[in-house]
Amino acid sequence: MQSDQIVSILGAGAWGTALSFIMGYKQQLYNKNTQYKKHKILLYTRDFIIANSINTNKINPLVDHKDPIPKSIIATTSLFDAMLSDIIFVSVPQKNLRDLFDNIKDIILKYNNIFEKKFRNSIIVLCTKGIDKDDCLPYEITQKYFPDNKIAVMAGPNFAYEIISGLPATTTIASSDISTAHIVASVLSYDNFGVEVSNDLFGIQMCSAIKNLIAIGSGIIYGFGSGYNITCSYIAKTIREIENLIVEIGGNKKSIMTTGGIGDIILTSTNKKSRNYTYGFEIGQILNSKKIDVDIINGLSINPNKITIEGYHTAHQLKHSKYINNITLPICHYLITLLIKNIININDINKLIKIILESNNNII
């Protein structure tokens, strides 16, 4: 690749904006230290008003940020321009991923000779997490649409608001081609943002998909008043279940111990700034205080049909998933059953706790 790379970020939500801060901060260091490569950074949004605000005032009205968006970030509403990049970060929700890729396919058909040759050499980095209605992980969807492109995924204990505030963090970049992972890492890594690399695409994406399900369970148990001890036991045992799942499917056992594995799971499962944990916490709290059955769709202040609660939707996708159906995952399987029935009662939580107590994950 050329020394002056073009990097684009598709999606100007909280995480897309956080990525722009990471790269923008690094570009500021480039001006002082030539060990860093220079990049042209594009932030794609479909909204002209947001793009204009970012380019004119360095403010994204969709995202709470005290510091201005770095000067090196250029917002664009042209998907064509954004796709003519060396590295393309995809930061859109799972439910919008296929629509975005359909739009890219339309551009390829329209500008075939100009566009396709350049785009085929682009690295696609997926920040999208979850499992879609067709039982596909984001990287599998991407491979079907763009089989010639190199693909990487990004995962870690990465709250967007902390990164935007300039707090230190680390992440994991995974690609089946480890050299691709290193190329992507070089775009992100600097003094305040560490990057580790992995060649286990599946393992890292599976951790990312299931972590939100685990976070809901963690919130339920602690909100129910069961204490830190059993909540942490639950987290430890579900982590071992995911490790078993990764191995059974052919992934790398070590993936669970990465920042994109255990790091992301702990963050999402213990922090009230996690929507999934907070959703579970409210369920547990209502059951504990009111002793009544809870309608987990309409009976809470957080409605998963109005606010994206990824773990709730993941539970519905995993119910008949090829990934987990024939694998022994007692806690995860029961939690899925719990969330898809929509009405939860005290006996359900007591049974969940009993399963946690009895599960030994075959380590004895």
Residue 141 banded pLDDT, cuts 50, 70, 90: very high
Residues 314 and 295 in one domain: yes
Residue 253, domain extent: 210-358
Report the pLDDT value the prediction gives residue 360, as an integer from 0 to 100. 74
Average pLDDT, the chain: 92
Residue range 97-109: average pLDDT? 94
Instruction: Give the pLDDT score at 1.
Output: 39
What is the percent of the chain with per-residue pLDDT over 90, rounded to a whole number? 80
Same domain for 130 and 238?
no
pLDDT for the residue numbered 3: 54
Q: What pLDDT was estimated at residue 117?
A: 78
Domain match, 326 and 185 both: no
Give the pLDDT confidence of 154-209 residue by residue, as tens digits. Answer: 999 999 999 999 999 999 999 999 999 999 999 999 999 999 999 999 999 999 99
Residue 175 lies inside a defined structural domain of this protein: yes
129 is in an annotated binding site: yes
Per-residue confidence band for 111, with pLDDT thresholds at 50, 70 and 90:
confident
**Domain annotation covers residue 122:** yes
Residue 279 located in a structural domain: yes
Q: Please report which confidence band the pLDDT of residue 124 belongs to, taking 50, 70 and 90 as the band edges.
A: very high
Residues 169 and 306 in one domain: no
Q: Please check whether residues 193 and 215 belong to one and the same domain.
A: no
- Tell me: pLDDT of 274 over 90: yes
Answer yes or no: is 236 a known binding residue. no
Of the residues 177, 199, 221, which one is the last residue of a structural domain? Answer: 199
Q: Is residue 364 part of a domain?
A: no
- Considering the domain boundaries, does residue 11 fall inside one? yes
The CATH number linked to 173 is 3.40.50.720
Active site residues: 211
Which has the closest alpha carbon to 188: 202, 199, 172, 210?
A: 172
Domain assignment of residue 205, yes or no: no
For residues 69 and 182, membership in a common domain is answered with: yes
- 61 shares a domain with 186: yes
Query: Are residues 185 and 220 both part of a single domain?
Result: no
Say whether both 39 and 163 belong to one domain.
Answer: yes
Is 14 annotated as a binding-site member? yes
Does one domain contain both 157 and 217? no
* 117 domain-assigned: yes
Between 57-66, 91-100, 138-147, 296-305, the lowest mean confidence (pLDDT) is in: 296-305
15 is an annotated ligand-binding site residue: yes
Residue 235 has pLDDT above 90, yes or no: yes
The per-residue pLDDT for 30 is 63
What confidence category does residue 346 fall into, taking pLDDT thresholds of 50, 70 and 90? very high
- Look at residues 199, 221, 240 and tell me which one is the last residue of a structural domain: 199
Report CA dihedral (223, 226, 227, 228) to the nearest 10 degrees.
-80
CATH number at residue 321: 1.10.1040.10
Determine what percent of the chain is predicted with pLDDT higher than 70.
96
Same-domain status, 128 and 246? no
Tell me whether residue 13 is annotated as binding: yes
Q: Is 261 annotated as a binding residue?
A: no
Q: 361 falls in which pLDDT band (50, 70, 90)?
A: low
Kindly report, residue by residue over 46-85, the tens digit of the pLDDT. 999 999 999 999 999 999 999 999 999 999 999 999 999 9
Q: Are residues 190 and 232 in the same domain?
A: no
**160 known member of a binding site:** yes
> How confident is residue 35, by pLDDT bands cut at 50, 70 and 90?
low
Ligand-binding site membership of 16 (annotated): yes
Checking if the pLDDT of 363 tops 60, the result is: no
Is 275 annotated as belonging to a binding site? Answer: yes
pTM of the model: 0.93
pLDDT-based confidence at residue 32 (cuts at 50, 70, 90): low
pLDDT band with cut points at 50, 70 and 90 for residue 33:
low
* pLDDT of amino acid 308: 83
Q: Distance between CA atoms of 25 and 29, rounded to whole angstroms?
A: 7
Domain end residue (candidates: 199, 232, 266): 199
Position 36 scores a pLDDT of: 56
pLDDT of residue 51: 98
How many separate domains does the chain show? 2
What pLDDT does residue 256 have? Answer: 96
In a domain, 95, yes or no: yes
